[in-house]
Amino acid sequence: MRPKISVLTAVFNGERYLCQAIDSILNQSFEDFELILIDDASNDDTPSIISSYQDPRIISIRNDSNIGLTRSLNKALEHAKGEFIARQDADDISMNTRLARQFDFMINHSQVGLLGTACRIIDSKGMLRGYIDQPIDDIEIRWFSLLENSFFHSSVMIRSEVLRNNSIMYDERFRVTQDYDLWIRLLDYTQGANLQQRLVCIREGGEISTQNQREQMDNHDRIALGAIKNQISNADLDLNDLSCLRNFFVGGPAPESGCSFSGEALLSIYYELYQQFRSRYENHSASINKLDKEVSIQILKTFSHPKNWGEWFVAYPFAHKLNSFAIPEFFFEVVRYLYLHFEIHCKRLTSIGKVVFRNIFIETQ
């Protein structure tokens, strides 16, 4: 009988955390699934760990030679029979209601073909280190995906028919960042969403997620630039511009060639991109109104970072143009703190910036 869900895990020398990853799937409250384990020619204890499991829902495949994560995941896709495809990295953990909650959502939202969740961050010992949320609805995801990956790979569930009907698989040209590329292409054919519940634990500092950072960022920026050109056909950006924007508003390394833009110049580019994006989706008024708030918060948070205080005063007018809502309470506290510690913390502010800053402080009283 065809299972409802196919869970895909590819592993290379993953003996340290593999049992935790496998157990977290086998202990799901939703039981109608198959777990496809691809051992990518591991030379540690991974093969014996996999063979120690006798659960009939496990399909174990061992590669004759090491072919990498991307090709291994495509091999798993070729064997998958489920109505939905779920991902699970070999060093991460799924909460026991993850599959049930995602399955229920997909059944009740037929327009969504790509679904992730928020996550918990854990360290090498499994200790909780923090939380990361993701944009929730389709329009939010489409905007934020232009500069960053809006899905955790280990949290994703995909509607199989969207993959099959559009001949979509992982692009084997990408040794890393293959997930971000896949999401961008899927969003051409279906809607995306993220559950607010933190249903996966992502391993901080794991080899799978942090290896080859420069290659990841180079791939990321090329994929992001393609996504922007697809969403905003008249966007006047090159790869270096995109890398500067991503570095400033999201993080990650700056482009190797450097970045000559001021914060104000980057904000102008960011704001113009958003206005073009906004005009494309203006018929989705509820989502756009919500996104206006999120983007204004993103601008304010970026310029609240100490490295950007010298240009902080330019951020408020842009954020205010997007949204005349009352600035969130957490931002009130940022403003009050910085103002009250003015001489110590705000020496980089220009004289004009100080005047604007005082006016904003007064508005928050």
pLDDT tens per residue across span 22-42 = 999 999 999 999 999 999 999
- The band of 348, judged by pLDDT with boundaries at 50, 70 and 90, is very low
pLDDT by residue (tens digit) across 113-172?
Answer: 999 999 999 999 999 999 999 999 999 999 999 999 999 999 999 999 999 999 999 999
3-state secondary structure of 113: strand
**Is the separation of the CB atoms in 330 and 322 below 8 Å?**
no
Q: Does the pLDDT at position 208 exceed 50? A: no
Domain assignments of the chain as residue spans, ordered by start: 5-211, 261-363
Q: Does the pLDDT at position 237 exceed 90? A: no
Nearest to 52 by CA among 88, 23, 9, 87: 23
Q: Which residue has the higher pLDDT, 274 or 305?
A: 274
Q: What is the pTM of this model?
A: 0.84
- The band of 6, judged by pLDDT with boundaries at 50, 70 and 90, is very high
Section 207-230 average pLDDT: 80
**Is the separation of the CB atoms in 70 and 178 below 8 Å?**
yes
Residues in contact with 306: Cβ distance below 8 Å, sequence separation at least 6, in sequence order: 345
List 11's β-bridge partners, or say none. 39
Predicted confidence at residue 342, as pLDDT, reads 45
**What are the tokens at 137?**
């609805």
Q: Does the pLDDT at position 250 exceed 90? A: no
10 Å CB burial of residue 314 (0-12, 13-18, 19+) is buried
Report the topology of domain 5-211: Spore Coat Polysaccharide Biosynthesis Protein SpsA; Chain A (3.90.550)
Predicted confidence at residue 292, as pLDDT, reads 87
Q: Where are the alpha helices (DSSP H) in the chain?
A: 18-26, 46-51, 69-79, 98-108, 138-144, 160-165, 178-186, 207-210, 213-231, 239-249, 263-280, 285-303, 315-322, 329-340, 342-345, 351-363
**Is the separation of the CB atoms in 17 and 94 below 8 Å?**
no
**Is the separation of the CB atoms in 13 and 69 below 8 Å?**
no
Nearest to 61 by CA among 5, 6, 1, 16: 6
**What are the tokens at 295?**
């983007």
Nearest to 226 by CA among 244, 250, 242, 249: 242
Mean pLDDT of all residues in the chain? 85
Kindly report the number of other CB atoms within 10 A of residue 164's CB atom.
11
Q: Does the pLDDT at position 74 exceed 50? A: yes
